[in-house]
């Protein structure tokens, strides 16, 4: 498969840290998970340093920057604190996500259209520092246009609504969401944006998204960490990689 067509897999290790933090000790170690993920075929590692540090810690980010052989995709809210941390570490990529303390996970995409000026100023120094800037948004034309206007290089389309509809057996809605994702992947690509996707993806939901030719990267975490309990992290990731490649082929 030509390198330009290969779909990259970013493995999100946040929930290894969630399990570690449940007991407040050192295990399981997210850095060890990152190393295994690399060996299993991950093209990058994603970690979200939340304002409340509920999973990934500042020390994890330092450790990842020091030891990873593949690129780090640093997920962050658009706050001054996170911008300063990103500028200190200069990871390969930053992904700007909305963050609300009370949410269990990143529930929606960023409202770029509503905050265009602030976000344009927020991402400029990150791009100048050499970070590839990605914006996590709903599959919505207005948001994609706004992300393009503020100078983002990448949009990551939120696949949560599609995955939730599948899990809850709302199949018409699932198919509608999938169609929306497909159209918006094409639209984003037509503007010159690199298109990524992620959130809630599983072995069942990944194939149709992996098949979109405009999508260059998937970021997947929670399902893989859960599946690792049953089959081990390396086989869990290898199976995801296999399904992605099969859908692509």
* Nearer to ligand PXP among residue 79 and residue 105 (C-beta): 105
* Nearer to ligand PXP among residue 78 and residue 201 (C-beta): 201
User: What is the closest distance, in whole angstroms, from the C-beta atom of residue 173 to ligand PXP in the complex?
Assistant: 18
* Element counts in the chain: helices (H) and strands (E): 11, 8
SS3 12: strand
* 199 a catalytic residue: yes
* 48 a catalytic residue: yes
Spatial distance between the Cα atoms of 110 and 127, rounded to a whole number of angstroms: 18
Spatial distance between the Cα atoms of 211 and 18, rounded to a whole number of angstroms: 31
* Nearer to ligand PXP among residue 47 and residue 68 (C-beta): 47
Task: Pull the structure tokens for residue 220.
Answer: 């997947």
Q: Which of 89, 166, 189, 199 is catalytic?
A: 199
User: What is the closest distance, in whole angstroms, from the C-beta atom of residue 117 to ligand PXP in the complex?
Assistant: 23
- 14 alpha carbon, distance to own chain's centre: 11
Q: Which of 15, 38, 48, 189 is catalytic?
A: 48
Kindly provide the residue ranges of all beta strands, DSSP E only, lying in the chain, ordered along the sequence: 8-12, 44-48, 72-76, 93-96, 132-137, 154-158, 194-198, 215-220
Spatial distance between the Cα atoms of 129 and 230, rounded to a whole number of angstroms: 41
Spatial distance between the Cα atoms of 135 and 113, rounded to a whole number of angstroms: 12
**Footprint of ligand PXP (CB under 6 A):** 12, 14, 48, 75, 95, 97, 105-106, 136, 156, 198-201, 219-223
Q: Biggest alpha carbon distance in the chain?
A: 47
* Nearer to ligand PXP among residue 60 and residue 156 (C-beta): 156
Task: Pull the structure tokens for residue 160.
Answer: 């949560």
* Nearer to ligand PXP among residue 81 and residue 103 (C-beta): 103
* 177 a catalytic residue: no
User: What is the closest distance, in whole angstroms, from the C-beta atom of residue 73 to ligand PXP in the complex?
Assistant: 9
User: What is the closest distance, in whole angstroms, from the C-beta atom of residue 160 to ligand PXP in the complex?
Assistant: 7
User: What is the closest distance, in whole angstroms, from the C-beta atom of residue 10 to ligand PXP in the complex?
Assistant: 8
Task: Pull the structure tokens for residue 19.
Answer: 């399990």
Q: Identify whether the C-beta of residue 135 lies closer than 8 Å to the C-beta of residue 149.
A: no
Total residue length of the chain: 249
Q: Which of 75, 156, 217, 227 is catalytic?
A: 75
Residues that are catalytic: 48, 75, 199
């Amino acid at each position: 498969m030509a390198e330009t067509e290969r779909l990259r897999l970013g493995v999100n290790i946040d929930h290894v840290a969630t399990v570690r933090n449940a007991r407040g000790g050192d295990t399981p170690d997210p850095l060890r998970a990152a190393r295994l993920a690399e060996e299993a075929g991950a093209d990058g590692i994603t970690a979200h340093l939340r304002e409340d540090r509920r999973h990934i810690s500042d020390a994890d980010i330092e450790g990842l920057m020091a030891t990873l052989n593949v690129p780090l995709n640093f997920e962050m809210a658009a706050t001054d604190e996170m911008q300063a941390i990103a500028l200190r570490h200069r990871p390969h990529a930053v992904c700007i996500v909305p963050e609300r303390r009370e949410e269990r996970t990143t529930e929606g995409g960023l409202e770029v259209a509503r905050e265009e000026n602030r976000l344009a100023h927020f991402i400029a120094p990150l791009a100048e520092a050499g970070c590839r800037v990605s914006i996590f948004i709903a599959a919505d034309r207005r948001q994609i246009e706004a992300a393009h206007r503020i100078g983002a290089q990448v949009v990551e389309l939120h696949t949560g609504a599609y995955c939730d509809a599948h899990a809850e057996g709302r199949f018409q809605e699932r198919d509608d969401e999938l169609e929306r994702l497909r159209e918006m992947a094409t639209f984003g690509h037509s503007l010159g944006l690199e298109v990524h996707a992620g959130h809630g993806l599983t072995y069942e939901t990944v194939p149709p998204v992996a098949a979109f030719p405009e999508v260059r990267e998937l970021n997947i975490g929670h399902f893989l960490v859960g599946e690792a309990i049953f089959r081990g992290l390396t086989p869990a990731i290898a199976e995801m990689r296999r399904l992605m490649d099969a859908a692509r082929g």
